Structure 1
């Protein structure tokens, strides 16, 4: 009888290592980053999306396993407080972006025209960006304090007011104070991007406009501004994501008060999730806030594409 040759067994880990070694080198290099991204980003996103479809409460951990579909989202559609917070977020975003763009454009034009000390001025313009939002919140909370605040002391010293103005107690004035803090801390974003556009702008079209007899306003309106629009829309895209998730400054200055008059989406989300313990409802609000950010980002990217196409056609 012929003897069968001995069967050699290969260890499973050795087979897996051989299969793994056959994978493309770029995939192997990216595999640790993909695993880390899935653990840090994808898993929390999936978990929060699932919890938004449940009545999950921090006081009842087992409620995360109870599926209720879109009931949280349906309740939000009929929640007056949510829609007020949503409207304030859109209002804050609209006012902050437009005012920051106008002020940033003015600062960029001012710095670009100065020949001496331009580096120092650029550093000074960037200075507010170095502060964290929490520090900015404490700073402006002190500035607008009704008793010892710098604004009230200045107004009373100049004879412009005979009483202390309740900046952070009156709802409308508190929103104005928050808007001022946002503008002060982030106007530099627009100034830096627009200044970069001014420094990259070719001089030949400007000289041609002067030769043709264009006024300074016509030169800016029809030559300079179209070239700067892509830079402004890039800054708008970045800032829209920041303002849409505004939390730190508002939390420090007013905590959503008085009586919820400065409540925006993310302060309402934090109060619903951590103070009230309704984490499922808070996550549903969070996904609606993310949708708002996506809508504004897509809108600005579309405007950016149009501005780039116009610059490419004109220049």
Structure 2
């Protein structure tokens, strides 16, 4: 090592690489290794027992895990589609505004400024069956005579979580789509209007293909967020009632800390990571297609 003299840029980047390895790479490798062991927090010595793919094989036949997996995919599917539709509507409305557009953009971003924990507490209070503002409003309007058990009924609890997710993150789609609308040249729209196209035809064949890449970028970001959703579900229902709102990361947390089965939980986590990678690759593929289409048409 005496004759080895690293380049200056290597020396400058070395502290960053050391910190990155300490806080990211080493814990990641340790968690990957522990997924091949029966590691329990109550028995630290079990981390030295290598059992191969036994945890992963066990998960393949674990119905509770696959139900939570399917529920996560269901939440992701509904949330992404509804957020995209609502975000598209918001972006179109803000883009058409002639006055106060900056104020509207700022207001539109407000939900993103709240932490998921705060959003969870907020909606947990709103959907409370006794003192929640949702039931009070419905009863005051005469739409129902009894308190609706939003967070006690399994299906209603899932809908409540979906509403909280949509409220907190629709702005992501709105901001990206609005950026696409503001970057879009006006000549094609004017040409479509001259050719006699209706407003719907102009949107369908001119505006929508141009803003699709922006929508796919938002989908990629939100798919990663929802695939690892935890805070809102943990605060609002904690996976209940009776596991009806259990998703992957609440199940992983319960397995790791409540049941102390850290090895099995890490195996679940790596399967969840594969889900995130799958959706990310899918959206990037669609993004590349949308860019090629724009390049060919514009």
Report the TM-score range of the alignment, normalised by the length of the smaller protein: over 0.9
1:204 maps to 2:187: yes
1:220-246 alpha-carbon deviations (Å, 9 max, x no partner): 000000000000000000000000000
Query: What secondary structure is seen at the aligned counterpart in 2 of 1:261?
Result: coil
Equivalent of 2:199, from 210, 216, 239? 216
Once the two structures are superposed, residues 121-167 of structure 1 have per-residue CA deviations (whole angstroms, 9 ceiling, x without a partner) of 00110000000000000000000000011110011000000000000
2 CA distance for matches of 1:51 and 1:102? 42
Partner of 1:28: 11
User: When the two structures are superposed, what TM-score results if normalisation uses the length of structure 2?
Assistant: 0.99
TM, length-normalised to structure 1:
0.94
Of 101, 123, 135, the match for 2:106? 123
Shift of 1:24: 2.4
Equivalences for residues 76-225 of structure 1 within 5 A: 76-225=59-208
Aligned residue number for residue 19 of structure 1: 4
Contiguous gaps of at least 5 residues in structure 2: none
Give the number of equivalent residue pairs: 298
Which of 272, 284, 298 lines up with 2:267 in the alignment?
284
User: What's the CA shift for 1:77?
Assistant: 0.6
| CA-atom RMSD in angstroms | 0.8
Q: Corresponding residue for 1:8? A: none
> What SS does structure 2 have at the residue aligned with 1:75?
helix
Task: Indicate whether 1:64 and 2:54 are aligned.
Answer: no
- Provide structure 1 residue ranges, at least 5 long, that are not aligned to the other structure: 1-14
> Does residue 268 of the first structure (1) align with residue 234 of the second (2)?
no
Look at both structures and tell me which one has the larger radius of gyration over its CA atoms. 1
What is the CA distance between 1:36 and its match in structure 2?
Answer: 1.3
Residue 306 of structure 1: aligned partner? 289
In structure 2, what is the Cα distance between the partners aligned to 1:183 and 1:138? Answer: 15
